[in-house]
Copies of this chain bind each other. A is one copy, B any other.
């Protein structure tokens, strides 16, 4: 499959590399044509990998991953172009984190979420919030942790969620994908982050995840 990745950070390169390893063609998009991190990533992943602008990556992808930092996602998606993503699935991995105040806060939460903002900005795109609650190593390799643990998705389009659930399972190895409902559930998914950051401090690792224990 042809896949577009928006962003050039650790999440973007980790997901991009995994997708290339699985045999997909991946184009990493950034603000400019000559982004050094994107060029370096594309070079290290050879023929299946390329890099270009946000818009080129959005046009290229049959499915698109938003791996930009949350505080810049809306701007990046505008550059990617609403038209270029119409009818496509956008897997939104971003978190609206703001470290500017010394302590972590979210740029949006409680009565709105980044996932909802993105869905409103791209009304004809099937936005599925996913993977934002784990470290990038775990996103593509959940078996780094022993035992079962859960990943969460939400979105307004049931068939898009089915496809993302299949991708998470077949490509990345997630055995338990919990569908939280429509895109407003992104509030809950994103609001896990202040807790997540504290847990990372307590356990001195980012390799941990939530498991929901039930009766």
Contact = CB atoms under 8 A, between A and B. Distances in A.
A210 B208 contact: no
Contact of A213 (B105, B149, B180, B191): B149
Contact of A215 (B145, B197, B199): B145
B214 A211 contact: no
Contacts of A181: 198, 201-202
Q: How many copies altogether?
A: 2
Which DSSP category, helix, strand, loop or mixed, fits chain A's interface? mixed
A95 B91 CA distance: 31
Interface residues of A, number: 44
A147 B213 contact: yes
23 contacts: A103-B111, A103-B184, A105-B111, A109-B109, A109-B110, A144-B215, A145-B213, A146-B215, A149-B213, A180-B195, A180-B199, A180-B202, A188-B196, A188-B197, A189-B195, A192-B192, A192-B195, A203-B212, A205-B214, A209-B213, A210-B212, A211-B212, A211-B213
Given A109-B109, A109-B110, 9 more contacts: A149-B213, A179-B202, A180-B199, A188-B197, A199-B212, A210-B210, A210-B211, A210-B213, A211-B211
